[in-house]
Amino acid sequence: MQKRLNEIVERKSALLGELKDADEKRIVEIQGESDALNQEEKELRSKMDLQGKLAPAASEKVKPNEVESRAASFAKTGRMAIPASETRSTLLSGGAIAAPAGVGGINDPANTVSSIIDLVNVEDMTGMGSYQEAFVSAWASAGAGSEGTVANASDPTFKIANIIPFDIDVVSYVSKQIRKQTPLQYAQKVQAGALKALRKKVVDYIVSGNGSTEPFGIPVAADKNAVATCDTLKVTSSTIDDGTLRDIVFAYGGDENVGAGARLILNKNDLIAFGDVRGTSEKKAVYEIIPDGDNPNVGIIKDGGLSVPYVFCSDVTALSDSTYSDADISTMIYGNPANYKLGLFGDFEVAVSEDYKFGEGLLTVRGEVMVGGNVVVDKGFLVVTLTTAE
């Protein structure tokens, strides 16, 4: 399946190159073939994800002796390379890597990584200098026809999203006592810490990356011509009231829908503000908030018959805590997380040093990887933006 996926990516890239000089007939042909390739790619990835949940995919299996050999080398050199395939699997699965038993010194804090990282589209782009993905921003329109005249119709409009790699350095700390364990346990603990730090940093980029020295964050996402990809919902007050949720939901999507698979990405303080809203007569709570029992980082906000999934993200600015000064402030984000594509451009290199935190008995774990990202669907997200009255 991986071979076929590579063939699909290459073919889509070739079709993208033809768009510039293609005539109307060829554009329609390219559009049809691209749709078929996208559907096939989606089905293949679904099968691979299912296989990954049931059993490790053949291409991602690591033989026990290979794991032990890698761990022994790491214990000796203090360096390891986590393959991009394993990094991608961790980003998708929630980073569930077992820590070694019997080692004390550092306990994990409360959850520090937003579940948004588990919902975006992650793709292995190893070997590519950059990546481009085409998407339709406007479909062709039909025109009334009459015999002997050419119908007044339009061509579809395409945009191209650039995904450019940027270097990410992440740092975490583990107890130096873990070196007394077996090389395998030592390597597992270091790898777990490095990947957790990577997940945290990537979340920051997804919601607030500047798009110039960092990957594109959703609020500044743009196509290759620097045209904004996402919509904004401008609000002039930081107060969350009984109409806020409906305003957000119905501002997302097109004229014929409200968008599918969307989630509200918000700061925890804004969820508290939703919970504080009361009716004018009976003073009952307007919004019903239902955290997920298995993962309280996500849940549902209900407003009468409207049910909106949400996910916490501390890197998103809280609208309820904001005060407008002289620049617009991006706050809550609403949309389908899969509309954001995150690319891994190589292995995750990890090194360990005991110099920096020597006096505290800690090892410094430093990881380095090339990562890029961008929104790959036109109007894929809606950003709630605090601004002045127009």
**pLDDT, tens digit, for every residue of 364-379?**
888 888 899 999 988 8
The residue-averaged pLDDT of 208-217 equals: 92
Residue among 311, 293, 309 nearest 301 (CA): 309
When mean pLDDT is compared across 28-32, 93-97, 184-188, the lowest value belongs to: 93-97
Run of H or E including 311: strand 306-312
Q: What is the pLDDT of residues 226-238, one digit of tens each?
A: 888 899 999 999 9
pLDDT tens digits along 54-76: 444 444 445 556 666 666 666 66
Is pLDDT of 254 > 90?
no
Whether 263 shows a pLDDT value over 90: the answer reads yes
**Of 131, 50, 124, whose CA–CA distance to 87 is shortest?**
124
Q: Cα dist. 238→267, 319, 321, 335 in Å?
A: 13, 5, 7, 21
Residue 180: burial class (beta carbons within 10 Å; 0-12, 13-18, 19+): exposed
Q: Which residue has the higher pLDDT, 126 or 35?
A: 126
Highest mean pLDDT among 127-131, 183-187, 340-344: 340-344
| pLDDT tens string 311-360 | 999 999 999 999 988 889 999 999 999 899 999 888 888 888 877 777 77
What whole-number percentage of the chain has pLDDT above 70? 71
Mean pLDDT for the stretch of residues 240-265? 86
Of 139, 209, 148, 230, the C-alpha closest to 371 is 209
